[in-house]
Structure 1
Amino acid sequence: MQLSEEEEDYNLSLSKFESMLKTNKVLFFDSEEFEEIILHYLDIGKANLAKKALKLALEQHPRSTGLKLVQVEMLVYDDKLEQAEKLLNELYAIEPTNEEIYIQKANIYSKRDNHEKAVELLNIALTYTDDYADVYNLIGMEYLFMDNLEMAKDSFIKCLEVDLEEQSALYNVVYCFEFLDQNREAIAYLAKYIDQNPYSEIAWHQMGRLHYGLKEYESAIRAFDYATLIDDEFMGAFMERAKALERLKKYEEAIESYNRTIELDDATSYALLRIGKCYEKLGNKVQALKYFNKTVHEDPLLDKGWIAITDFYVRQKNFQKALFFVNKALAIDNQNRLYWKRYATISKQMNHFEEAEFGYRKAVEFGDHSLDTWLFWVDILQFLGEFDSAAQTLLQATEYFPEENEIEYRLAGLYFMAQNNIKAKFHLSNALRLNFDNYIILEDLFPVVWSRKMVQNYIAKHKK
Structure 2
Amino acid sequence: MALDSSEQPGPPITKFESMLRTDDVYFFDAEDFEEIIHHYLNHGKVSLAKKAIKMGLQQHPNSLDIRLLDVEVMVFENEFEDAERVLDELQLLEPNNEEIFVQRANIQSKQDNHLGAITLLHKALELTDEATDLYSLLGMEYLFIDDYTMARKCFIHCLEADPEDYASLYNTIYCYEFLDEHDGAIRYLNTYLDTNPYCQIAWHQLGKQYYAVKMYPEALAAFDFAIISDDSFLGAYFEKGRVLEKLGRYEEAIENYNTTTELEDPTSHAYLRIGKCYEHLNRPEKARYYFYLTVHDDPLLDKGWLAITDHYLKKKDYQKAQEYIDKALSIDGENAIYWKRSGIIHKALNQVHEADFAFKQATELGNYEE
> Please, what TM-score do these two structures have when normalized by structure 1?
0.73
Aligned CA-pair RMSD: 2.3
The 3 A distance-change label for structure 1 pair 354 and 150 is closer
Q: Which residue of 1 aligns with 2:287?
A: 288
Cα distance in 1 between the residues matched to 2:345 and 2:147: 50
Q: Which residue of 2 aligns with 1:86?
A: 85
Q: Which residue of 2 aligns with 1:53?
A: 52
Cα distance in 2 between the residues matched to 1:194 and 1:114: 37
Give 1:346 shift: 1.7
In terms of Rg, which structure is larger? 1
User: Match for 2:266: what amino acid?
Assistant: A
Which string of whole-angstrom CA distances, capped at 9 and with x for unpartnered residues, describes residues 78-106 of structure 1? 22222222222322233333322222222
Cα distance in 2 between the residues matched to 1:333 and 1:142: 36
User: Match for 1:279: what amino acid?
Assistant: Y
Cα distance in 2 between the residues matched to 1:89 and 1:301: 51
Cα distance in 1 between the residues matched to 2:37 and 2:325: 54
Q: Which residue of 1 aligns with 2:174?
A: 175
8 Å Cα contact 2:336/2:367 also seen in 1? no
Which string of whole-angstrom CA distances, capped at 9 and with x for unpartnered residues, describes residues 153-180 of structure 1? 2222222222212222222222222222
The 3 A distance-change label for structure 1 pair 172 and 330 is closer
The 3 A distance-change label for structure 1 pair 354 and 265 is same
8 Å Cα contact 2:216/2:246 also seen in 1? yes
The runs of at least 4 aligned residues of structure 1 exceeding 6 Å deviation read none
User: Match for 2:164: what amino acid?
Assistant: E
Percent of residue pairs identical: 52
* 2:252 maps to 1:253: yes
Q: Which runs of 5+ in 2 are unaligned?
A: 1-5
Give 1:13 shift: 3.6
User: Match for 1:325: what amino acid?
Assistant: Y
Give 1:114 shift: 4.1
8 Å Cα contact 2:362/2:368 also seen in 1? no
Cα distance in 2 between the residues matched to 1:368 and 1:113: 32
* 2:341 maps to 1:369: no
Q: Which residue of 1 aligns with 2:224?
A: 225
* 2:331 maps to 1:332: yes
Q: Which residue of 1 aligns with 2:3?
A: none
Instruction: Give matches, 1:438-449, under 5 Å.
Output: none
Q: Helix, strand or coil: the match of 2:192?
A: helix
User: Match for 1:37: what amino acid?
Assistant: I
Cα distance in 1 between the residues matched to 2:263 and 2:289: 21
Q: Which residue of 1 aligns with 2:144?
A: 145
* 2:172 maps to 1:207: no
Instruction: Give matches, 1:124-163, under 5 Å.
Output: 124-163=123-162
The 3 A distance-change label for structure 1 pair 257 and 319 is same
* 2:248 maps to 1:244: no
Cα distance in 2 between the residues matched to 1:177 and 1:362: 38
Cα distance in 2 between the residues matched to 1:103 and 1:167: 23
Give 1:368 shift: 4.4
Q: Which residue of 2 aligns with 1:30?
A: 29
Give 1:25 shift: 3.5
Give 1:12 shift: 4.0
Cα distance in 1 between the residues matched to 2:176 and 2:7: 38
Cα distance in 1 between the residues matched to 2:37 and 2:45: 9
Give 1:267 shift: 1.6
Give 1:11 shift: 4.0
Which string of whole-angstrom CA distances, capped at 9 and with x for unpartnered residues, describes residues 331-384 of structure 1? 33344333332222222222333333333333334x143232xxxxxxxxxxxx
Q: Which residue of 2 aligns with 1:98?
A: 97
Which string of whole-angstrom CA distances, capped at 9 and with x for unpartnered residues, describes residues 177-213 of structure 1? 2222322122111111111222222222221111111
Cα distance in 2 between the residues matched to 1:296 and 1:43: 38
Q: Helix, strand or coil: the match of 2:151?
A: helix
Which stretch of structure 1 is more off in the superposition, 296-305 or 319-328? 319-328
The 3 A distance-change label for structure 1 pair 236 and 29 is farther
Which stretch of structure 1 is more off in the superposition, 328-337 or 338-347? 328-337
User: Match for 1:309: what amino acid?
Assistant: I
Q: Which residue of 2 aligns with 1:40?
A: 39
Instruction: Give matches, 1:448-463, under 5 Å.
Output: none
User: Match for 1:53: what amino acid?
Assistant: A
Give 1:51 shift: 1.7
Q: Which residue of 1 aligns with 2:196?
A: 197
8 Å Cα contact 2:313/2:321 also seen in 1? yes
Q: Which residue of 2 aligns with 1:187?
A: 186
Cα distance in 1 between the residues matched to 2:334 and 2:299: 15
Which stretch of structure 1 is more off in the superposition, 104-113 or 270-279? 104-113
Q: Helix, strand or coil: the match of 1:136?
A: helix
Cα distance in 2 between the residues matched to 1:110 and 1:301: 35
Cα distance in 1 between the residues matched to 2:23 and 2:361: 65
The 3 A distance-change label for structure 1 pair 197 and 329 is same
The 3 A distance-change label for structure 1 pair 337 and 139 is closer
Cα distance in 2 between the residues matched to 1:118 and 1:360: 49
8 Å Cα contact 2:337/2:367 also seen in 1? no
User: Match for 1:370: what amino acid?
Assistant: Y
Instruction: Give matches, 1:268-417, under 5 Å.
Output: 268-365=267-364, 367-372=365-370
The 3 A distance-change label for structure 1 pair 255 and 133 is same
The 3 A distance-change label for structure 1 pair 352 and 180 is closer
Which string of whole-angstrom CA distances, capped at 9 and with x for unpartnered residues, describes residues 423-444 of structure 1? xxxxxxxxxxxxxxxxxxxxxx
Give 1:312 shift: 0.4
Give 1:24 shift: 4.3
Q: Helix, strand or coil: the match of 1:96?
A: coil
Q: Which runs of 5+ in 1 are unaligned?
A: 1-5, 373-464
Give 1:273 shift: 0.8
